[in-house]
Chain A
Amino acid sequence: DTGVSQNPRHKITKRGQNVTFRCDPISEHNRLYWYRQTLGQGPEFLTYFQNEAQLEKSRLLSDRFSAERPKGSFSTLEIQRTEQGDSAMYLCASSPRGSPNQNTEAFFGQGTRLTVV
């Protein structure tokens, strides 16, 4: 296993187009997170899945954003009708589920850099 894999690494799109990103988590990690990172800022939480269930969504995730994890393995993040403000690095992370009241390490992928022109 080589870690969390994200594709594509870079995406340039015209304003108004739809884009989809894919994240393959570490095998057997049942938690999967999406974050967005803009230049000079820390990652901001977007949403997370436990297996196939989407358990939390940030207010940052507007109606144009949708995420899925259909079989509890890979996940996709789609942005419809992209805007210039969507330009950012989109990071995926995965972690195994620990025992109650136990946090476990989140492993990040290398991200997909989106540029909307």
Chain B
Amino acid sequence: QQQVKQSPQSLIVQKGGISIINCAYENTAFDYFPWYQQFPGKGPALLIAIRPDVSEKKEGRFTISFNKSAKQFSLHIMDSQPGDSATYFCAASKSQGGKLIFGQGTELSVKP
């Protein structure tokens, strides 16, 4: 019940295209769903996060869509750029405690 499943494992997108990464969770007690971006040799950095009381959150080119009934959420990167090439992780946590349960990661490559 602690698992967060992420797909795809890798993704290649042309510059200007839309990158879409999907995650599914099992534990209905989760109520905080962040996405992290990680470059090689660096720690993960928070990109955007959502709570289940909203179905969508947008920050610049990044949008999270959340489907509470399906227990799924996704990251959309609009107008993808080569600088977006990185590994993306979805995660989930409960209000109390705050430990993050991460997905397996998606390696995104944006081709010029």
Contact = CB atoms under 8 A, between A and B. Distances in A.
Contacts, number: 63
A56 interface: yes
Contact of B44 (A43, A48, A95): A43
Interface in A81-117: 91, 93, 95, 100-111
B41 A110 contact: yes
Given A103-B32, A103-B95, A41 B105 contact: yes
Interface of A: 4, 31, 33, 35, 40-45, 48, 55-56, 91, 93, 95, 100-111
B43 A4 contact: yes
Contacts of A4: 43
Given A41-B104, A42-B104, A42-B105, A108 B99 contact: no
B49 A105 contact: yes
22 contacts: A31-B98, A33-B98, A33-B99, A41-B104, A41-B105, A42-B103, A43-B100, A43-B102, A45-B101, A48-B99, A93-B43, A102-B95, A103-B31, A103-B32, A103-B95, A104-B98, A107-B46, A108-B45, A110-B42, A110-B43, A111-B42, A111-B43
